[in-house]
Structure 1
Amino acid sequence: MQLAILIVLILIAVLIAPWLIGVAIAAAAVYGVYLVAAAALAGVAFVVAVIWVLFIDKGRKEKPEEIHGERKSCRHCQVEMAVSATHCKNCGQSCT
């Protein structure tokens, strides 16, 4: 029933103001451009996410260095390291 009312209202509007057809076509075109832009943005976001996961995030998941034997802490950043280490791998400061 609501669809029939909508169709009747559209027909009345077109009969009273035929220029509304042009407005409707323009609105559909603008909406189409909006949809294409939204789809392109989603595609770019997907590609960036894939690149991020495959290349950039991979370096952050490296396993920490396993230290066997005696350990000491860096006096600058408190990271544990081997006693034989002369520079901290975390902050780069000299630990001698």
Structure 2
Amino acid sequence: MPGVDGGAVRAALDQELARLSAHAIDASMTLIALDESAEPTVIAALSEREWDVVVIGGGIRKPEPLLPLFHQVVNLVRRHAPKAAVAFNTSGGDSVEAARRRL
């Protein structure tokens, strides 16, 4: 996204992934490009295994121009990980809390 430091975002996401691990939550993270590869990327990630919870971040949920992508991701979760709870974080730093609310 324009104006966003990708390196800083990636570092914050990696830190949150480490925090999930520290809380004994086996997690992985999928970054989605804002192009035609979004859907196959999400489907591949959801198909890796059965998920207990899928956290959808504010980077997809909050920007109004990304509302169609947000809807697409929610519906892909419903189709490709039907047993998973869906959680929403408020920032990149509270995915642990979002996941734990639904586990």
Q: Please state which band the TM-score falls in when normalised by the shorter chain.
A: under 0.3
State the structure with bigger RCO (CA 8 A, min sep 6), 1 or 2.
2
More helix by share: 1
